[in-house]
Structure formats: C-alpha cells, structure tokens
Structure 1
Amino acid sequence: MGKKILVLTGSPRGSGNSDMLADAFIKGAEESGHSAVKFEAGKKKIGGCTACDQCWTNGHACVDQDDFYELEPLLESCGVMVLAAPVYWMGFPAQMKAAIDKLYAYGGSGGLRPLAIKESALLLCGGDPAAAEYDYVAQGYKMILSFLGWRDRGVLWQGGTGAPGDISPDALQKAEGMGRGL
C-alpha cells in the first residue's frame, strides 16, 4: 500500500519553478503507487503565529480562523510532507512560513493531536546560483524535522531560476526520482 503525501507549496506565483518541482515529485510518487495532495500555501490566507499559546483551545491547532483550518486534516492524515518553495531573501516565502510556524501546535509541549507525518523532503529553487542561500533554508528545515521527529527523505535545490521555466530538466528528473523513491 502506498504512502499518502502532502506537498506543501509556498510560491504565491502559480505555475513557477517550485510548482514544477512539486508536480514532478508528485508524478514520480504516483507512478510508484503513492497518493499525493498539493496544498498551495502561497495562495492561501494564513496568518503567522502570534505566540499566544492558545493552541487547541477552540478545537483547532490555532485560534486564529484562517486557511490553516483547511491544512489541518491533511497534516493529520498524510504520512509524508514535502515542502516545495522558492527561496525569498534566504528563507521560505512568508505565506509558507506562516503555515510552517503553526506546526508549533503539533510539537513540543503543546501538541495535543498527533501528526501522521513521519517523513519529509525539501524542494527549493531561486535566483541565486550559490549554495549558501539554500544551505541556510535547509538548516532551518532540519531543525523543523528535529522538533517534530520526522525523517528526512532528501533535499533538492536549484539556483539560477529567476524567471518562470528556468528550472532544469535535470532538477525535474531528480524531483521525480525522489517521489518515485519514497
């Protein structure tokens, strides 16, 4: 039986390079018998964590009523989460970062409902061709994995992708292979 995969995308600009990476990953995963759902966090209205420590007081991870409510059932039913995003100013896009910040409610001392997620992968792209920018984001990703107790299934990045369609066929093949290899 295949795995259920949540692909969380962060680009507010649809059909860009990070979405192409996400779609290639999904294609490979589905070819291997897994199922995948794509949640476009970059196009949702998700506010950032306000550190109110009111997690779960209203039956939801966050008391702020926003599009994170749509993400909750996916977080609680998928066994793998893939983060696919462009790198903006050495980090995740703000829209995706807001969704990631709200994962706090599922870990540490505040986690009242378990996540089904046990594995994760990271797909990044951006205009800067240097590895340092992506290494910085990957470090943060590894800290998220540590906090939530997830197993890393790989990190893939490609720089030099400032314009839509700049992603290389090689990167798309690697993303597809990562999905196939779950």
Structure 2
Amino acid sequence: MATTIKKQGEFETMKNVLILSGSPRKGGNSDLLCDEFMRGAKESGNNVTKINVASKKIAPCHACYFCGEHGGECVYKDDMAEILQAMIDADVLVLASPVYFYSIDAQLKAVIDRTVARWLEVKNKEFYYIMTAADEDKSSMDTTLACFRGYADCVNGAKEMGVIYGTGVYEKGKVLNTPAMAEAYEMGKNV
C-alpha cells in the first residue's frame, strides 16, 4: 500500500502502481501508452510495475468455484496467482487494452475474470484506463470503457481517475506522434 516518505521537509505519498498491459503486441500502441504512463509515474517517485498479460500463462475462468472452497486458491496453477496478489497490493490499477470488436481483448478479460478467486480483496483502488483503436471516433471505445468501468464497479472503494484515448492508431507505433502519448505521461506523473 501507499507509503509516506519525507522529501525536502514535506511529506509525499509514494503509491504502488500496477499497469496491466493487455496488448498482445509488445511495443504495440496501447503498450507504448503504458510505457509513457509508467515513465511519468516513476518520475513522480511511485513504485511502478508493468505486466504484459499476453506474455503470461493465464487460463480462462471456468466457474468451477474451487477458489471459494479453498481460500481463494485457484484450481489452475498458472501466472494468475502472482498477478492477483499484485492487484491486491496495488494502490493504483492501470488497465490497458486495444479495442477488439468494440471491447477489451481476451488476454485482459481473462485476468479480470480470474480475480473472482479473491475479488473482495481487490479494494480501494484508483483506476486509470488506456485504450487504443484504429477508429478516429472516441465513441468506438464506449463499450471498451464500459467493460473497464464494469469491473471497477465490482471493486469496493474504486475511484476512476483518468481515461486515455489513443484514436486512429492501427499500425504498431502509430501512437508515438499523437497527443495521447503526452496525456499518458502527464496522467502518470500526476498519480
């Protein structure tokens, strides 16, 4: 959880920031926005961890509820237990995804669904959302944003802090010369 440190006679709060990059393309547009958010958050003295969820082994939830009968332990022995603990320990959760058919991608959705094992322990989080899409119109991201907000609605004490829209970016790296990069950096800096 957040720790208070003394800096030049003043108290400053260092937060634990967890960025969950759902992009299946390492260095893809939403992943690049995550890196800028991370750069800003680190420069402000926060403890930041970024996880590329596509590089992790995460089985989809099968609603067997083994976790309910075994103290939050999942029947699957994969990378999700570590990710879920990081989510519980974080003060700030950054959820990032490219828009796939007007929704979040499968990699990040699997993570969200698997939080069911200990979902009541994921509480009092500040949420930031990062989305990218080939479409220029922000309204194309409405359902994606609704998915993020739907998850946050299930998190006790959740507070939405910001949304970054990377519009008109399809080819890998196209987001680099857009205002979204500066927005991600500034949002991270102001965590």
Q: TM over 0.5, yes or no?
A: yes
2:25 maps to which of 8, 13, 16: 13
**Secondary structure of the corresponding residue to residue 45 of structure 2:** coil
Measure the CA separation in 2 of the matches of 1:89 and 1:134. 10
Aligned residue in 2 for 1:3: 15
Number of aligned positions between the proteins: 177
Deviation at 1:51, TM superposition (A): 1.3
Measure the CA separation in 2 of the matches of 1:162 and 1:121. 22
Structure 1 unmatched runs, 5+: none
Deviation track 1:41-75 (CA, whole Å, cap 9, x = no partner) reads 12212111111122254454422111112212211
1:171 maps to which of 164, 180, 189: 180
What is the TM-score with the length of structure 1 in the denominator? 0.90
Q: Which amino acid aligns with 2:103?
A: G
Structure 2 unmatched runs, 5+: 1-12
Deviation at 1:132, TM superposition (A): 2.5
1:115 maps to which of 108, 117, 122: 122
Aligned residue in 1 for 2:7: none
Aligned residue in 2 for 1:161: 169
Runs (4+) of structure 1 exceeding 6 A deviation are: none
Q: Which amino acid aligns with 1:105?
A: A
Root-mean-square deviation (CA), in Å? 1.6
Aligned residue in 2 for 1:105: 117
Does residue 145 (structure 1) correspond to residue 141 (structure 2)? The answer is no
Aligned residue in 1 for 2:91: 79
Deviation track 1:98-131 (CA, whole Å, cap 9, x = no partner) reads 0011122333xxx3xx236511100010112222
**Secondary structure of the corresponding residue to residue 120 of structure 1:** strand
Verify the 8 A CA contact 2:134 2:169 in the aligned structure 1.
yes
1:125 maps to which of 115, 119, 132: 132
Deviation at 1:169, TM superposition (A): 3.5
Please, which moves more after superposition, 67-76 or 11-20? Answer: 67-76
Q: Greater CA radius of gyration, 1 or 2?
A: 2
Please, which moves more after superposition, 22-31 or 129-138? Answer: 129-138
Measure the CA separation in 2 of the matches of 1:126 and 1:152. 21
**Secondary structure of the corresponding residue to residue 148 of structure 1:** coil
**Secondary structure of the corresponding residue to residue 39 of structure 1:** strand
2:141 maps to which of 130, 134, 139: 134
1:181 maps to which of 153, 175, 190: 190
What is the TM-score with the length of structure 2 in the denominator? 0.86
